[in-house]
């Protein structure tokens, strides 16, 4: 095992509308908006205050070309796995928030896109 160099502070997601995408993930994950660490509509943070990592941040990227799952020409670049107790109820809630189902699933996961097109998985054990 190697010595730790640092700690994860934030996962940052580029998107055209940070405030809207942050609202989607705040509802999906039950994580509060960190308004004091957000900067108008160009940088929005979810999670506790600094020092309570990891946090999820959204950065404005007006010309974003979202991933095209599962097209390797526009790969997913990153994704979030979200653990749920009841996949049917979780899927219904995520779709109501603006998610859309993507092709592909496996033992214990289904693939979706958030409103800005980033893939994420709902997972269950």
Read off the CATH number of the domain in which 39 is found. 3.30.720
Strand partners, 105: 110
Domain that holds residue 104: 80-123
pLDDT tens, residue order, the chain (125 aa): 677 656 777 898 999 999 999 999 999 999 999 888 888 889 999 998 777 777 899 999 999 888 888 888 888 778 888 989 999 999 999 999 999 999 988 899 999 999 999 999 999 97
**Structural domain contains residue 66:** no
Q: Are residues 86 and 48 in the same domain?
A: no
Count of domains in the chain? 2
Q: Are residues 55 and 84 in the same domain?
A: no
**Structural domain contains residue 71:** no
Q: Are residues 53 and 84 in the same domain?
A: no
**Structural domain contains residue 44:** yes
pTM higher than 0.85: no
Name the CA radius of gyration of the chain, rounded.
Answer: 15
């Amino acid at each position: 095992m190697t010595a730790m160099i640092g700690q994860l502070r934030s996962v940052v997601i580029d998107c055209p509308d940070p405030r809207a995408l942050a609202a989607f993930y705040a509802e999906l994950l039950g994580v509060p908006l960190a308004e004091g660490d957000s900067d108008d509509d160009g940088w929005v943070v979810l999670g506790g205050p600094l020092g309570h990592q990891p946090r999820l941040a959204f950065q404005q990227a007006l010309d974003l070309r979202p991933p095209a799952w599962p097209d390797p020409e526009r790969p997913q670049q990153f994704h979030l796995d979200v653990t749920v107790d009841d996949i049917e109820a979780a899927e219904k809630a995520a779709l109501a928030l603006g998610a859309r189902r993507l092709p592909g699933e496996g033992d214990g996961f289904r693939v979706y896109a958030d409103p800005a097109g980033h893939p994420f998985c709902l997972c269950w054990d």
